[in-house]
Structure 1
Amino acid sequence: MSASHFEGKDAIQHVVERQTHGIASLAETHGAEIPGHISSYADACREVAFLLLILGVICEKLFLSHDQILLILGVFSCGLLCWKIGRSAWHGWSRLERLHRLVEEERYEIENNREQERDELIALYGAKGFEGKLLDEVVDVLMADGDRLLRVMLEEEMGLKLECHEHPLKQGFGAGLGAFTAAIIILLALLFLPHPLTLLITSLTSIAFAAGLSASYEKNRVISAVIWNLGISCLAFGTTYFLLDFILS
């Protein structure tokens, strides 16, 4: 057995280490439980709604007219739209690039360390309850098919879920749609309902909608998610509002 491959660890310790490495690669904004484009949509919708709310409050405290505020928020929304699309797509490309690197690393191990990969398979399926002749047959079948072996090692050893990695442009589209949804709701409401509370109500409504959507896909408690998101938003809004009052008084 190659000590350089296992780095002084036995097969089971090596598998645990690789699983930890694989799980870490999924610990990002768009986790494995919710589709990436849905996560991007909800995140962009929340962020744009909150930023427009804060910017609107600042503009009001500076005594700008309603038309000026509407124009500033509209221009700012266009910039945010481009930013959210580009950032989400780049983030997707970054994750995809990392996945490709992990695939190539595992492919190299399979091609150059077959005996060690066999030991890892025995450790993996032995832990699942396979033993004796059945364990040997399962390992032999997997070792005979390089593509199947690669997929098994990526998913079983490293904890990767290959089907969860969406195309970056799809994630970018989701983020763009989320940003557009929040912006268009807020801007149209300000255009047709020029009331002092319009911005606050529409922003919080957009944040609540995005939080509920995200929670429902993740099978979490929707009401709890909505309350927490609204509470955090109100805290941040109140902090901004009263700090501006204090600074400008």
Structure 2
Amino acid sequence: GGQDGLVNVLGVILGVAAATNDPRIVLVAGLAATFAESVSMGAVAFTSTLADADFYESERSREYRHIQQVPHLEKNEVREIYQEKGFKGELLDRIVDTITANKDVWVAVMMAEEHQLQPTNRKEAIRSALVVGFAAIVGSLIPLVPFAFLPVSMSMFASVAVTAVVLFGVGAYKAQKTVGHPGKSGLEMAAIGTLSALVGYVVGALLKIPPTP
């Protein structure tokens, strides 16, 4: 959320700054984009979490029906899953018998191993929406700060520079936590985000509004 808000709002304010050269209009447009973006992304996170929870429950109910209607087929699926993990012989038989002795355990195994799904708590939807919305607000406000203190011409350069540094940091951090080279990942994210935002500047420059006499 923060990364998207950062790039999107930077594009908006660069375009407005290039078109109007008025810091007040830039701030108003940037704040409007900030809060609209945060509400939108929070709503998407909320509905997405609910959709995940609904899908999980739907698949879970289907597994219960299959266990009731065709238990031999479902039992064979459990056997195949653990055969692929390297179990065999008497140990495999014990694993299958233990799992299929309890329907709740049986379904939980099928959901995790066959469908690669984990339970989603519907109560998490609100928390997810708040986290994403707040992250979007924080990210969106970063490129706006220079326009509150500097002339528009200087603010544009400062805003791009600050955004690029933040994006580099985010990219490097993600690479450290996952897989990849922090420096390369940081540069890629900074370059892609900055170039995307500069599209807004180009649009604003092409549609520049002449100053009022």
Normalised by the length of structure 1, the TM-score is 0.72
Q: What is aligned with 2:75? A: 118
Q: 1:61 aligns with which of 3, 12, 18?
A: 18
Q: What is aligned with 1:80? A: 37
Q: What is aligned with 2:196? A: 236
**Cα deviation code 1:84-105 (max 9, x no counterpart):** 1111111111122111111111
| AA of the residue aligned to 1:198 | A
Return closer, same or farther for 1:136/1:104 CA change in 2, 3 Å cut-off.
Answer: same
- The alpha carbon displacement at 1:236 in A equals 2.4
d(CA) in 1 for partners of 2:96, 2:9: 57
- The alpha carbon displacement at 1:231 in A equals 1.5
Partner SS state of residue 62, structure 1: helix
d(CA) in 2 for partners of 1:166, 1:230: 35
5 Å matches for 1:135-214? Answer: 135-162=92-119, 167-194=124-151, 195-196=154-155, 197-214=157-174
> Is 2:64 the counterpart of 1:107?
yes
- The alpha carbon displacement at 1:204 in A equals 2.4
Q: What is aligned with 2:49? A: 92
Q: 1:46 touches 1:211 (CA, 8 Å); kept in 2?
A: no
- The alpha carbon displacement at 1:170 in A equals 2.3
Number of aligned positions between the proteins: 206
Q: 2:171 touches 2:189 (CA, 8 Å); kept in 1?
A: yes
Deviates further, 191-200 or 133-142: 191-200
Deviates further, 230-239 or 76-85: 230-239
d(CA) in 1 for partners of 2:147, 2:21: 14
Q: How many percent of aligned residue pairs carry the same amino acid? A: 17
Unaligned runs of 5+ in 1: 1-43
- The alpha carbon displacement at 1:239 in A equals 4.2
Return closer, same or farther for 1:76/1:66 CA change in 2, 3 Å cut-off.
Answer: same
| AA of the residue aligned to 2:196 | A
Return closer, same or farther for 1:166/1:123 CA change in 2, 3 Å cut-off.
Answer: farther
- The alpha carbon displacement at 1:209 in A equals 3.6
- The alpha carbon displacement at 1:123 in A equals 1.6
Return closer, same or farther for 1:169/1:83 CA change in 2, 3 Å cut-off.
Answer: same
Partner SS state of residue 100, structure 2: helix
Q: What is aligned with 1:226? A: 186
Q: 1:45 touches 1:210 (CA, 8 Å); kept in 2?
A: no
d(CA) in 1 for partners of 2:202, 2:142: 26
| AA of the residue aligned to 2:54 | E
| AA of the residue aligned to 2:187 | I
Aligned residues: CA RMSD:
2.6
